[in-house]
Amino acid sequence: MLTRYLPWFILLALLAEILGTVGGFGSSVYFVPMANFFMDFQSVLGITALYHLASNLSKIGFFRKGIDKSLILYMGIPAVVLVSAGAWMSRWIDPESLSMVLGVFLLVFSLVFLIRRDLKVKPDGKNALIGGALSGFLAGILGTGGAVRGAVMTTYNLSKERFIATSAVIDLAVDVSRTLVYANNGYIHKHDLYLVPFLIVVSVVGTYIGKKILQRITQQQFRKFVLFLLLLIGLVTLVYHVPGVLGWIRVAD
């Protein structure tokens, strides 16, 4: 149990929720590497799934007017199908290698679109299906796939509200699916459940703060912010998963 470090855990979870709301692709991209400092990876997967249920319900509540139903169908259905496969395979596949691949992808994607601002990727059904499937699979096997979904959704030039609400609905369906598989895998532990009430409060407060921040930035600033966050996530993911790097920071052992 991490009761000794609970205030730090809650503070970092709140920061993850704020950034996840402002960035538009969910808190798990920040919460997963943060929580991994405090508990083993399988426990992180279990608690992240429960936390993200509350997180996405909060976002849907605050941004419900912006839901894009067609994009939910194109991205949501393959995401739900593949998240179960990823969650089931998480028992056997090494997450380190996949995390490195994810980090490289996010770095390249964000840099290309930050440098080539005029570059356009066709926002069609095919790309939405591929992006949804990949984000769902990564969410199941790594605990987070929102960054990939966010990368695809940036090509649609959605409004801030539509981007966040649509992503949250897709994420909610993904979370319900992977929570069931994680529970069956034994990743959700009774001794971690005391964290859930804290994380529910964090999800509501963090989403509210994130919404207030979004009201102060323009649509163009929002898109740049999303790309810079993707770049940062890619860098942190690569650094964190280099063998031996940051291992001394783990606090809960």
pLDDT score, position 117: 67
pLDDT score, position 228: 83
Helix 125-142 crosses helix 77-89 at what angle (to 10 degrees)?
30
Residues of the chain with pLDDT under 70: 1, 25, 95, 98-99, 102, 117-123, 144, 147, 240-253
Burial-class residue 218 by CB neighbours within 10 Å (0-12, 13-18, 19+): exposed
DSSP 161-191: HHHHHHHHHHHHHHHHHHHHHHHHHT-S-GG
DSSP 97-119: HHHHHHHHHHHHHHHHHHH-TT-
Distance of CA 92 to the CA centre of its chain: 22
Structure tokens at 149: 């979904």
What is the share, in percent, of the chain residues with pLDDT greater than 70?
87
pLDDT score, position 44: 84
Taking the alpha carbons of 73, 75, 76, 78 in that order, is the dihedral positive or negative? positive
pLDDT digits (tens, 9 = 90+) for 98-120: 667 767 777 877 787 778 766 65
Q: How far apart are CA 152 and CA 36, in angstroms?
A: 26
Query: So where are the chain's domains?
Result: 3-247
pLDDT digits (tens, 9 = 90+) for 147-195: 677 777 877 777 888 888 888 888 888 888 888 888 888 888 888 889 9
pLDDT score, position 243: 55
